[in-house]
Amino acid sequence: MSGCDETMKDSERWIHYIPALREVLTAQGAWFGVPWDDERDDRLRYACSHVRPATHLELAFVVAAAERHVWWREIVEEFVKRRAGERTVLDHFPILELEEWGMPNTYRIPAFHEQIVALIRTVSGWGILAATGYLYEIFKRRADRKPLRAIASSDCREKMGPDELDAVEAIVLHHATQSRQYAWCSTMAERAQRLVDSAAGFHAGWRS
């Protein structure tokens, strides 16, 4: 994938990603019968204007935030603050870094589906199928779903107490149903990048 984390040369380049992403996401939504609406447009504008993406990953994060229905404003504000090294409000435990899984660096904000699965695997020690199954139970709001601390591995329980595990579970529950796959968000970001990179595409899309 081209330009995955290369810093973009133009500091104001992010402005052009709003109409580019709008075009890309509108086209994608048409395939599934999901029309573009004012609420999604507001989320996109807010996320892009605050994050001001300068890398491919940041642009993918903007896509993930814009596609949420809840907690989108909070994760955008937290992302911007954490990136700047400012003090933040939401919990961000070391376990949320997910470095061993090679996950995108979103400053301990589990914005993507793959990060949620990796977090469950980190806590439980399970494989990907079992972790995905547990996430499915969260989606279905299964009444018999075991809490995260009940499936925690012995190694994890040695590092984290019950209260901390409960706090991590709250983070999982907040983000699980709203997360989007990084692969999809990355693809949408790359398509937007291509539109902006193309002089013909740029003039065709934004002249009016």
| DSSP annotation string for 24-38 | HHHHHHHHTT----H
Residue 88 exposure: Cα atoms within 13 Å on the Cβ side:
19
pLDDT in tens, the chain (208 residues): 444 444 445 567 889 999 999 999 999 999 888 899 999 999 999 999 999 999 999 999 999 999 999 889 999 999 999 999 998 877 778 889 888 888 999 999 999 999 999 999 999 999 999 999 999 999 988 889 999 999 999 999 999 999 999 999 999 998 999 999 999 999 999 999 999 988 444 444 443 3
Spatial separation of the C-alpha atoms in residues 13 and 112, rounded to whole Å:
24
180 forms beta bridges with: 112
- Taking residue 29's Cβ as centre, other Cβ atoms within 10 Å add up to 15
Spatial separation of the C-alpha atoms in residues 199 and 157, rounded to whole Å:
55
Residue with the two structure tokens 């291509």: 194
Residue with the two structure tokens 């939401």: 90
Residue 10 pLDDT? 56
Residue 13 pLDDT? 84
**Please, is 120 exposed, middle or buried when counting C-beta atoms within 10 Å of its C-beta (0-12, 13-18, 19+)?**
buried
Residue 39 pLDDT? 95
Q: Residue 95 has what DSSP assignment?
A: G
**Type and span of the H or E element at 189:** helix 182-197
